[in-house]
Structure 1
Amino acid sequence: MMLGVTSILRCQGLIQNTVRLLNRNLHKEAIPVEWKKPEIGWTKLNFDGSCKGKLRKASIGGVFRNHKAEFLLGYAESIGRTTSVIAELAALRRGLELVLENGWTDLWLEGDAKTLVDIIVEKRQVKCAEAQRHVNHINLIIPELNNCIVTHIYREGNRAADKLAQIGHQLEKPKLWRHIPPNEVLQIVNEDAEGKIILRRR
């Protein structure tokens, strides 16, 4: 009888520990992520780079929206073989070139590659010469803007740019969308505008 009670107590202890562990993990995992609108008069660029497979085929994409979360401009392009870091930098650089072309002066730049965001914000030097060329170009454009902030967001809040980067893999030449996003991006843009929250699982 004592063995039975001991076993039951041990079992109950294991169950309680497992429940506690599961609760802790669930609490850890549930990070709410939401795309945020820029302030009135500001334009927000979300950018992303994509690198696929052993051949490291890369593409870039980005989306510009205003304070009403209205789609202003999207871009996508295949950029050949390279690394994911170069793809992210190329996506931001192309976005900034479009900023100058369109005369936007107050910019919120947002991407999901934290390392890259840190490089730009902290004006770090990088070892790769090609990456440094992109960084130098980006650092020349940013001072031309009236105001500019650069932030990191989890991928769940960068879905529109991510989708455009995926579209870039299928393109033979660079493509722009003005005022109306491609069908694959439309739902994401609408969900972002409505403030949809997506839980990030760590």
Structure 2
Amino acid sequence: MVIYYIETPPPSLLSWTPPPFNCIKINVDAAHSDLKASIAAVARNHDGVVIKVWAKSIPLFSPIQAEATAILWAAQLAISETWTNIIIEGDAKLCFDALSSTPSSANWSIMNIIDNIKSLTPSFVSCTFLWVRRLCNIPAHTAAKLALATDFSFCFSSNILPPPLRLACMADCPLVS
């Protein structure tokens, strides 16, 4: 059974929160310059422990297309990791709104990406898409900026995070070091 829904966080939510037990939360973000773009995904468990951080360069799209591509990539990564209960969280409100709306009301430039994301949801027992403020998405933002600045694609596990990512994750969830 697939549970597919969108949540909007309460306005008071000012920091990252861990997912429920037996669920993986994947925070996503995109970064772009005039010449290039990158996307990132940060997966953490119910204890807030970083499982993996991925980032890569992508063709230069509009910012909203890059953000939607990050959400799609997170779903694809979750499938490849065989995670069945996921929350995909990010700060691109237009993309998360498009996931909850009828196709005709979504921004035309991301409709195909949104349809592709929705087509992956039957792969999960539960799949939640959650819009959050940028303040709740700092590690994903940091990873996307790092990939943009270095031109490298990467996948890190929690024990080999580069210093900027380690600091962002520690600041985001101080109980985990």
Q: Give TM-score scaled by structure 2 length.
A: 0.84
Aligned-partner residue type, residue 83 of structure 2: W
Distance in 2 of aligned mates of 1:43 and 1:158: 15
Partner of 1:144: 123
CA contact (8 A) 1:63 1:160 kept: yes
Aligned residues: CA RMSD: 1.9
- Higher Cα radius of gyration: 1
Query: Which residue in the other structure is 1:175 paired with?
Result: 154
Shift of 1:101: 0.6
Residue in structure 2 matched with residue 127 of structure 1 by the alignment: 108
Contact in 1 for aligned 2:56/2:147 (Cα 8 Å): yes
- Are residues 1:36 and 2:17 paired? yes
Q: What is the distance in 2 between the residues matched to 1:171 and 1:123? A: 38
CA distance in 1, matches of 2:66, 2:150: 15
Q: In structure 2, the residue corresponding to 1:36 is in which secondary structure?
A: coil
What are the superposed Cα offsets for residues 163-196 of structure 1, whole Å, 9 maximum, x if unpaired?
Answer: 011012134453211233222111121122227x
The residue that corresponds to 2:62 in the other structure is 83
Query: How much has 1:56 moved relative to structure 2?
Result: 5.1
Q: Say if 2:49 is the partner of 1:70.
A: yes
Instruction: For residue 33 of structure 1, give the secondary structure of its aligned residue in structure 2.
Output: coil
2:83 is aligned to: 104
146, 161, 186: which one pairs with 2:166? 186
Mapped partners of 1:119, 1:56: distance in 2: 26
* Alignment map for 1:151-162 (pairs within 5 Å): 151-162=130-141
Per-residue CA distance 1:65-98 (angstroms, 9 max, x = gap)? 0000000011111113211001101111111111
1:50 is matched with 31
- For residues 79 and 150 of structure 1, the distance between their equivalents in structure 2, rounded to whole angstroms, comes to 22
Provide the C-alpha distance between the structure 2 equivalents of 1:84 and 1:56, rounded to a whole number of angstroms.
12
Which residue is equivalent to 1:95? Answer: 74
CA distance in 2, matches of 1:97, 1:149: 14
Amino acid at match of 1:67: H
Greater fraction of residues in helix: 1
**Equivalent pair of 2:25/2:87 in contact (CA under 8 Å):** yes
> Structure 1 stretches of 5 or more lacking a match?
1-30, 196-202
TM-score (norm 1): 0.74
